[in-house]
Chains A and B, each alone.
Chain A
Amino acid sequence: MKSYFEKYDSLLETNFQNFTANELLSSPCKLLPDNLNHLLRVSVPWHNLRGEGSHRHISSTIRFHMQPYSMSQLHIPFCKVIITERLPSGVFADPFELQHLRERGVFTDIAVFGDTNLELPSVLSNQLAVEIHMRVGCTSLLGHKLEISVDLPLHARYPPLDDSGYSKVKFGEPDLFLSCSMEGNGENESCLLLPTNDMAGPRTADVVWRIPSGTRAHTGIVSAVNYFSCCLYIYSFNCPSIHLLF
């Protein structure tokens, strides 16, 4: 994502797809069979919001299905799963919080890209992307399946005004990659693999976050009462009874 944001200012879908196809996966990777990507299938059987209020977690279970041939080619326990959550406008991840999680070993590596000003409302901010790296390890392997659980803390910005009093923010599915060292490659060279979506696998419903928003109809009354109140309170300092004390 770092190289993406060096080139683009915002997370438009078309830009991201072009970047993935033309730059991320176009790098030559030695000894990578042409059809290896198709031997890897991925499904996201669980992708949901947990918690309530302005501070929640997005939990995902990611399942990779591998063919035996691909498992011998790739050193699976030493692979890294790269998950890119392109967050919708109105939601952000706190980079300091994520840094603490990385220091505690929850993630191998994690970074936030985009507008990290936590105070801005969504109309004044850009979309964020979170890139999570997680080392596979032996415990995640179940035969020919690799299962990873990710729990990402998120926070809501103030959404645009809405007469209904709430704004709905919809999450897309995360983008998933597998980074593995191949047999015959140099020790420091790894291949980035884009698994195929497993259409036969279970799919979760759309994840929607309902965030309270200000109501445009309140604008006039709030401004008027604010100014009237200030005048009233200021007048109270000049009450004659206080003057008499001096």
Chain B
Amino acid sequence: MCLYSVMVWLLNPFTFTIGTRGNCEPIVCAMILWIIICLINGNVVQAAIWYGLVVHFRIYPIIYALPIILVLDPHSFQSGQKPCLVNWKSSKDNTSYSRKGVSEVDGVWTALKTIFTRGRIMFAMVSGSVFILCTGLFFFLYRWEFLNEALLYHLTRTDPRHNFSIYFYHIYLHVEHEFSVVEKLISFLPQLIVQLVLIFRFAQDLLFCLFLQTVAFVAFNKVITAQYFVWFFCLLPLILPWSKMKLKWEGLSCVVLWMGAQTHWLLWGYLLEFKGKNVFLQLWLAGLVFLAANTFLLIMFIRHHRYSARIQTVSASNFRE
């Protein structure tokens, strides 16, 4: 199983094609996997340093902030100690005990102390400091050009040219009239809602949560290019061992459906770009089909997931802040 899981990443045509065409996605993937290893080993500070660095390098890992913070539960993570990993079933009793324990304690102050714990504050402060330091350094070197290209550009970017996203045609049709602030905010809502639903549903199973978040983030993004697929391919080996999905025929049907939806889109894209045919509407519909395929895949993964080992919740008597 281990070997097959690694093959899904190393022998994946997307991995070596995208990794060798001149972009940095494999570096980002390696950093994210290292952050996961640090968290599993209880090295919160090291994880925070790398997290600040990877968000400076590529903005998208910011979506992992909330699940990581949630996982840094004071009942589970002891500073400097390796957290205990248990099966989901054995941890059910502990979970209900710890929740009961917290609810018995009165006061807003205690609730705040439960949320803003030392581990969480440390992670936020360290990662935030690293991010600000890196941003400050590059601002010192390159001034506003760096800030505009690295950060501010993403606030105002429009991508009217055809890509896998369903939004490209919508943006192109409105390119002559600037979008209002309300319209811009509304266009972020689907992505935001999906992220929040997945985080609050699956945060305890961190690896699975990160994988689902990444797939959903890419699928609902305003621009989708093939290089974004590498972001979740690197997390696939981490969740495959915990899936009930068999290759025959559920796994194969997922692969065929996802690749088929992509190929369908690419066919219309080829007719538009290389044959000069007006197939904008068909291309946009193909984008809708691709989004449906991504959603189907997410539901299939959710339905067939067996849950990876989770971090054990420590009983109230053993908990020390």
What are the residues of chain B within 8 A of A246 when measuring CB–CB? Answer: 201
0/1 string, B277-295, CB within 8 A of A gives 1: 1111100100010011001
What are the residues of chain A within 8 A of B295 when measuring CB–CB? Answer: 233, 236-237
Residue of B170, B194, B275 near A53 (CB, 8 A) is B275
Question: Would you give the shortest CB distance from B282 to chain A, in whole angstroms?
Answer: 11
Any A CB within 8 A of the CB of B80: no
A55-B220 contact, Cβ under 8 Å, with A218-B169, A234-B190, A234-B197? no
Question: Would you give the shortest CB distance from B195 to chain A, in whole angstroms?
Answer: 11
Question: Would you give the shortest CB distance from A207 to chain B, in whole angstroms?
Answer: 15
- Structural contact, B160 and A121, CB atoms closer than 8 A: yes
A242-B169 contact, Cβ under 8 Å, with A54-B273, A119-B161, A237-B194? no
What are the residues of chain B within 8 A of A222 when measuring CB–CB? Answer: 169-170, 173, 284
The number of residues on chain A lying at the interface, defined by a beta carbon within 8 Å of a beta carbon of chain B, is 40
Stretch of A12-20, A105-113, A158-166 contacting B (4+ beta carbons < 8 Å): A158-166
Provide the bound-state CA to CA distance between A119 and B153, in Å. 14
What are the residues of chain B within 8 A of A165 when measuring CB–CB? Answer: 278
Within 81-111 of A, Cβ neighbours of B (below 8 Å) are at none
Stretch of B103-111, B113-121, B298-306 contacting A (4+ beta carbons < 8 Å): B298-306
What are the residues of chain B within 8 A of A234 when measuring CB–CB? Answer: 190, 193-194, 197
- Structural contact, A212 and B272, CB atoms closer than 8 A: yes
A214-B173 contact, Cβ under 8 Å, with A230-B220, A245-B303? yes
What are the residues of chain A within 8 A of B186 when measuring CB–CB? Answer: 227
In this complex, what residue of B is CB-closest to A229? B288
Provide the bound-state CA to CA distance between A214 and B162, in Å. 11
0/1 string, A115-139, CB within 8 A of B gives 1: 0000101011000000000000000
Any A CB within 8 A of the CB of B137: no
- Structural contact, B274 and A52, CB atoms closer than 8 A: yes
- Structural contact, B172 and A53, CB atoms closer than 8 A: no
Provide the bound-state CA to CA distance between A153 and B190, in Å. 40
- Structural contact, A242 and B170, CB atoms closer than 8 A: no
A124, A234, A236: residue with the most chain B Cβ atoms closer than 10 Å? A234
Any B CB within 8 A of the CB of A215: yes
Provide the bound-state CA to CA distance between A216 and B173, in Å. 7
- Structural contact, B160 and A158, CB atoms closer than 8 A: yes
Any B CB within 8 A of the CB of A35: no
In this complex, what residue of A is CB-closest to B175? A121
Within 160-174 of B, Cβ neighbours of A (below 8 Å) are at 160-161, 166-167, 169-170, 172-174
What are the residues of chain A within 8 A of B291 when measuring CB–CB? Answer: 229, 233
A158-B161 contact, Cβ under 8 Å, with A54-B274, A214-B172, A236-B295? yes
What are the residues of chain B within 8 A of A161 when measuring CB–CB? Answer: 173, 176
- Structural contact, B280 and A160, CB atoms closer than 8 A: no
Any A CB within 8 A of the CB of B13: no
In the complex, 10 of the A-B residue pairs with CB atoms within 8 angstroms, ordered by the A residue number, are: A52-B276, A121-B172, A124-B175, A214-B169, A219-B174, A226-B166, A229-B166, A229-B292, A230-B190, A237-B198
What are the 6 A-B residue pairs with the smallest beta carbon separation, nearest first? A212-B278, A230-B190, A53-B274, A165-B278, A233-B295, A53-B276
Which A residues form the contact surface with B (CB < 8 A)? Answer: 52-55, 119, 121, 123-124, 158, 160-161, 165-166, 210-216, 218-219, 222-223, 225-227, 229-231, 233-234, 236-239, 241-242, 245-246
Which B residues form the contact surface with A (CB < 8 A)? Answer: 159-161, 166-167, 169-170, 172-176, 186, 189-190, 193-194, 197-198, 201, 220, 272-281, 284, 288, 291-292, 295, 298-299, 302-303
